[in-house]
Amino acid sequence: MSAILSGVWEKEAEAGGRATKIPVTVAYGDGIGPEIMRATLRVLEAAGAPLEYSEIEMGEAVYKRGLTAGIPDSAWESIERTRVLLKAPITTPQGGGYKSLNVTLRKTLGLYANVRPAVSYAPFVRTYHPQMDVVIVRENEEDLYAGIEHQQTDEVMQCLKLVSRPGCERVIRYAFEYARQNKRRKVTCMTKDNIMKMTDGLFHKVFDEIGAEYPEIEQNHLIIDIGAARMADSPEIFDVVVTMNLYGDILSDIAAQVTGSVGIAPSANIGNRAAMFEAIHGSAPQIAGQGIANPSGLLLSAVMMLVHLGQNQLAERIHNAWLCAIEEGVHTADLFTEGMSRAKVGTEEFASTVIERLGQKPQRLKSVRYENVGAFAELAKENTAIKSSKRATKTLVGVDVFVHWKDGCANDLADGLKRIESAELPLTMITNRGVKVWPQGHAETYCTDHWRCRFHANSTMATKRILDLLERLDASGIGFIKLENLYLFDGEPGYSLGQGQ
Ligand code: NAD
């Protein structure tokens, strides 16, 4: 019994004899969403899945009613009750202050691990990489997807990248537990910690720490750029990949496309108390309403959902029927290849083909077995025991003051700031977009109207010194737009140097 089910369904079962159906929330989504959801539910129905659907509305229509989150309260009530959501893709309107509903769902429900398998089905689906069988575990709540953005000057926008130790621990442990349970041999971590030494560096460090608890699993780290290049060129070298939110988003689309189509890749978004299953692709508005979309990504997501719900035999039955359809060359337009495919079918016809093959096993593709696979949430349950970070001794040693300034070059700004610095809190550096431009800047460096001015004390200091500095700064007419205090944590700097410092 999964952690999810230990909620509502189990209680109902205890109260009134066994509940016959498992409650699941369903969202039909936008664009091709309703078509592929109808096809998917038809297959589930035909296979005899004991599910009771609670339908909710979310996405474009809700946004258009003025709800910028794209989801009404009634939908939250349903998800909180069932704790399992099968979701079709939705369209996020561009601009206009609308927030991504996917990001909201993942973060609100604490769905910290996004499990995205990418498997080749050669020779039946055209791919240059017939041996590919990769699972990408994407961190799902943090990173640049915190969505905290500000315009700070006329010329500069900022997006905050937030990475926490518990966030890293949860998803990395999940990836190792997943690898162990599914008898995977290797876990690869990908970050850009040669540049982002603190944020990406933390993810890499936690990977090494947690990896040490799984000595039987081979493990390595790649910088994301070469990692993504290898995923496109030689995906056979990967097994399980764990990576940060943005990198995982991009990498999993590359991986899916390399297997033949983004239309066939499923995903499971897993948290300790809820789970959401969806195809990785979007709402494909260009082909919506034509009945030609591939329902496979959503159908295989529903298969992952059945495993999660402990319905392993059903999951196996549907997945194997799907493999039969694929190896028989019955393909939707995105997979259809002249000479390789046998029939080009629409969404509904494809679903019917899968239904007709329920109970069959593929002859040439490897059939799947879910016999010993536990619920995704069981792995999540392991994660409740997060090592709490020890409290470091935190010492204030300075401040980075960001200013909006357009009245001259770096030396002019330094002259102005020198007039208001104090002996205890002197100006030590100015950078522009991270590059040191004072002291000893280079005339070639292009400067925008956004400057980071570092005031660094020689020893521990009181916050009052910063407040005094800000008052003098304000009175000088230079003004400030934001601050970052500079701390030592157990004597180690908790801030990066300027480029070229
Ligand atoms: P997309 O995934 O919708 O489409 C990319 C390409 O893949 C298109 O050529 C499309 O026709 C094709 N494609 C996608 N799914 C297919 C399927 N099932 N069968 C056949 N072909 C398929 O990506 P996009 O065009 O960048 O995004 C469209 C909209 O979807 C945007 O509003 C975006 O915000 C949204 N989106 C939603 C989700 C989600 O709800 N999880 C994810 C990604 C994008």
Nearest atom (ligand 1) to Cα of 284: 3
State how far the Cα of 424 lies from the Cα of 427, in Å rounded to an integer. Answer: 10
Measured in Å, residue 35 CA sits from the centre of ligand 1 at: 14
**CA angle centred on 277, ends 275 and 283, rounded to 5°:** 140
User: What is 373-416 written as a DSSP string?
Assistant: PPPHHHHHHGGG-PPPPPPPPEEEEEEEEEEE--SS-HHHHHHH
Measured in Å, residue 309 CA sits from the centre of ligand 1 at: 27
Do 78 and 87 form a contact (C-beta atoms < 8 A)?
no
Ligand 1 mutation target, pool 103, 262, 326, 350, most atoms within 8 A of CB: 262
pLDDT of residue 498: 74
Do 163 and 202 form a contact (C-beta atoms < 8 A)?
yes
Nearest atom (ligand 1) to Cα of 100: 34
End-to-end CA distance of the chain: 56
**Coil, strand or helix at 121:** coil
The protein residue whose alpha carbon is closest to atom 36 in ligand 1 is: 282
pLDDT of residue 369: 92
Nearest atom (ligand 1) to Cα of 281: 2
The protein residue whose alpha carbon is closest to atom 31 in ligand 1 is: 91
Run means of pLDDT, 10 residues per run, the chain, 501 residues: 43 52 96 98 97 94 86 92 96 76 87 95 91 96 91 96 95 95 95 96 97 97 98 96 97 92 92 94 95 97 96 96 97 92 97 98 94 68 61 95 94 95 95 94 93 93 94 91 96 86 72
The protein residue whose alpha carbon is closest to atom 30 in ligand 1 is: 282
pLDDT of residue 8: 46
8-state DSSP, 239: S
The amino acid occupying position 205 is K
**Coil, strand or helix at 15:** helix
- Please, what are the domains in the chain? 1-109+261-375 (3.40.718.10), 128-259 (3.40.718.10), 394-493 (3.30.70.1570)
Do 303 and 376 form a contact (C-beta atoms < 8 A)?
no
pLDDT of residue 393: 94
The protein residue whose alpha carbon is closest to atom 12 in ligand 1 is: 284
**Residue ranges lining ligand 1, Cβ < 6 Å:** 32, 36, 89-92, 102, 262-263, 278, 281-287, 293-294, 297, 334
Surface-to-core class of residue 349, CB atoms within 10 Å of its CB (0-12 exposed, 13-18 middle, 19+ buried): middle
Tell me which residue has tokens 């059939």.
367
Structure tokens belonging to residue 216: 């039987």
State how far the Cα of 228 lies from the Cα of 494, in Å rounded to an integer. Answer: 30
- Among 192, 322, 187, smallest CA distance to 244 is for 192
Active site residues: 145, 192, 225, 249
Residue 272: count other Cβ atoms within 10 Å of its Cβ.
18
Structure tokens belonging to residue 123: 């020779």
The protein residue whose alpha carbon is closest to atom 1 in ligand 1 is: 282
Measured in Å, residue 279 CA sits from the centre of ligand 1 at: 10
Measured in Å, residue 284 CA sits from the centre of ligand 1 at: 4
Do 447 and 409 form a contact (C-beta atoms < 8 A)?
yes
**CA angle centred on 248, ends 147 and 197, rounded to 5°:** 75
Measured in Å, residue 391 CA sits from the centre of ligand 1 at: 44
Measured in Å, residue 165 CA sits from the centre of ligand 1 at: 32
Ligand 1 mutation target, pool 40, 283, 345, most atoms within 8 A of CB: 283
128: Cβ contacts below 8 Å, ≥ 6 apart: 258
Q: What are phi and psi of 185, to 5 degrees?
A: -95, -20
Nearest atom (ligand 1) to Cα of 94: 32
pLDDT of residue 381: 58
91: Cβ contacts below 8 Å, ≥ 6 apart: 30, 31, 59, 60, 282, 283, 285
**Coil, strand or helix at 44:** helix
Characterize the bridge pairing of strands 149-151 and 240-243. Answer: unpaired
DSSP count for the chain of H helices, then E strands = 15, 20
- pTM value? 0.90
Nearest atom (ligand 1) to Cα of 296: 18
State how far the Cα of 501 lies from the Cα of 439, in Å rounded to an integer. Answer: 9
The protein residue whose alpha carbon is closest to atom 37 in ligand 1 is: 282
Nearest atom (ligand 1) to Cα of 287: 11
Torsion 418-420-425-430 (CA) sign: negative
